Structure formats: structure tokens, C-alpha cells
Amino acid sequence: MISDGSKLAVFMLGALDDQIGKMGAGLLRYSPHEIVCVIEPGHAGGSIPAAIGIDHPAKIVATVDEAAALGADVFVLGIAPPGGQIPDDWYPWIDKAIAKGMSIVNGLHDHLGPKYPDLQNGQWIWDIRQEPEGKPAVTLRASKMPAKRVLLVGTDMSVGKMTVGLELHKEARAQGIKASFVATGQIGITIMGRGVPLDAVRLDFAAGFIEDAVVECADSDLIFVEGQGSLCHPDSNSPLPLFRGAQATHLIMCHRAGMDRLMRMQAVEVPPLRDLMKLCEDLAAGGGTFIRPVTAAVALNTAHLNAEEAAKAIADLEQEVGIPVDDPVRNGAEKLLNTVR
């Protein structure tokens, strides 16, 4: 939806250095599009590296007018507040962006399209979190593709499945491999410009949309599919349609070092990693009906550890699970990529 040559302004009012700004942070890290500025009056005039430690040259400005002066033609809501509603005080900013001729990218549950029905001159609103057109049904086409299909799975939500997939995708492309990344959440979709907003899709069609998205990557040799949720999280419905639609040949298990309970449900213990890996493989195989994927590696999120602690956590876990373990954000994605090449 975001065309080549677009210039993005990322709206992060009061959230540049906050967890709810992870949509904007994801874009700054991985967007293939030019980001000309971040709009956040509280940090105006500052630099992105100084504010949040991401190496990006975008300016930080205070107004939509300044963004327009920098040539921005796409205004991206870079904040994901709890509940997914658009706060009232954002509307003057959105109104102004539209008045300045910008198109809008919105990854929240609230939709903007119906509120601005009369756009002209090629302006558009992309409400990412809504079911795409069509009522696709799985016909196991993914299983017949020659490409390797790598599904990111995890021990919890927010352990880094998208990040690991994007790092692997970036490394693969850097090595000249024909690689694709199938985004399944609003941040990944905004970064890639396409994908399946899985949590907004009706249950009946979930696996079908995934299969369609995977099959669209037919000219790739290596397809990374962004996972969602976890088989040990009680409110996680996405793993099954992801397994069925993607028919993965490889899994990479994503985990945060030292986490033994779900972050937002402390009553629930995370099972031993090998048990969860086996369950993922068993479920993917469907009792012998489908392809049985190999868990190729564990991607370990060590962001909260120092270098020495991280190295020890990686070595210890490698010992425990018997397959390669690494933190691709800290150490680069080469080691993990080698496990699925």
C-alpha cells in the first residue's frame, strides 16, 4: 500500500521513548521506506539515536507543517495505545495531515477510513487491522512449494518473533538469497507494506489468508513467516492457522532469557523449551497428516543482560536444548540463518 518513493512522517506524540511507541520504533529499525521525520514536540530538535538508541537520521519535529515542509506524503500513526482506540487529541493532527495532502497509515483497532470518506487526488487511508477481501480456504498449496518456509514461534507474546524474522530476512537478502517476510501483525505489515492482520480476521478464514500470503512469495527460496502468540499462552489463537497455512519446513523458537512465566500472566509457567518445541512440531504435523517441521534454532532475546550474561545465557540454553541458540539483534543473524539454509 505504501508505494516506493513515499516519504513517511511517523507520529509519536509523547511516546517516542515509551513501550507504546513500538510501532514507530519498528519502522525506524526496519522500514524500507524513507522516514523523513518523527513528529513529537517533546523531543523536537533532538536526534533519534540520542532519544531511543536507534541509528536513524530522521529529524524530530514538532508540527505537521514541518513534516510537510520536509516532503512527507504519508502520515503513520506510530503509537499503539492499550485497547487500540484512537485518542481524541490525535484528530487535530490527523486532520492537519490530511489537509496537507498526506495519506494515512493506521494500525489501531479503530478505523479512520469511514471518518474521512471524501479523499481526493490519490490520497488514501490504510486501516491495517481489518479483514482483507475474500474468503480463502486452505488447499495445502504452501506444502508443495520448493521454498523453505520458516515460521517464528515463541514462548510468549512480545518476545521478539517479528524482530527475529526481520533480522533473518535482512541477513538473507544481504547474502543474496531470494527471501521474503510474511507479516502477520500491524507493525510488520506497516514495515513490509503488506501482510495478514491475523488478529482481525474471522476464524473461518485465518489459515486461508496465511496460505495465500505464503503462496504469493512463490519466487522466493526462503520465506520467513511472522509468528504470533504461543502454544503456552491461554489467549493465543493464532498458532494453529499459522501452522496450517504456512506448512513450515522449519521453526525457530523465540524466547526471552530467564523468563519462566508469561509476562502478563504471571500465574502461567512457561514449560521446558524442549517440550514446547516438540508440541509445536507435533501440532504442525497434525498426527502425521502434514509436513513435520524441524526446530532449527532458538532465538534468545538478551536485551536485558550485559554481554557476559548474554553469552552465558546463550551457551547454557544451547547445552539444554541441543540446537543452535543465538541473539540475532545482539550478535547478527548469520548463525541462525545458517541453521535454515
Q: CA 43 from chain center: how many Å?
A: 26
Distance CA 239, CA 231 (A): 7
- Shortest distance, CB of residue 264 to a second copy, whole angstroms? 10
- Contact between 202 and a second copy per CB under 8 A: yes
Give the DSSP letter of residue 91: H
- Contact between 114 and a second copy per CB under 8 A: no
Q: 19: which 3 cell numbers?
A: 513501550
Name the strand (E) or helix (H) holding 23: helix 22-30
Q: Which of 54, 240, 259, 311 binds a second copy (CB under 8 A)?
A: 240
- Contact between 107 and a second copy per CB under 8 A: no
Q: 339: which 3 cell numbers?
A: 541453521
Contact 12, 62 (CB under 8 A): no
Q: Which of 272, 292, 312, 315 binds a second copy (CB under 8 A)?
A: 272
- Contact between 116 and a second copy per CB under 8 A: no
Give the DSSP letter of residue 299: E
Q: State how far the alpha carbon of 193 is from the alpha carbons of 7, 135, 190, 263, in Å.
A: 13, 21, 5, 29
Could you say which residues in the range 278-307 bind a second copy, by CB under 8 A? 278-279, 282-283, 286-290
- Contact between 199 and a second copy per CB under 8 A: yes
- Shortest distance, CB of residue 288 to a second copy, whole angstroms? 5
- Contact between 276 and a second copy per CB under 8 A: yes
Nearer to a second copy, 70 or 279 (CB): 279
Distance CA 38, CA 28 (A): 9
- Contact between 108 and a second copy per CB under 8 A: no
Interacting residues with a second copy (CB under 8 A): 131, 137-140, 198-204, 206-208, 231-232, 234-241, 244, 265, 267-272, 275-276, 278-279, 282-283, 286-290
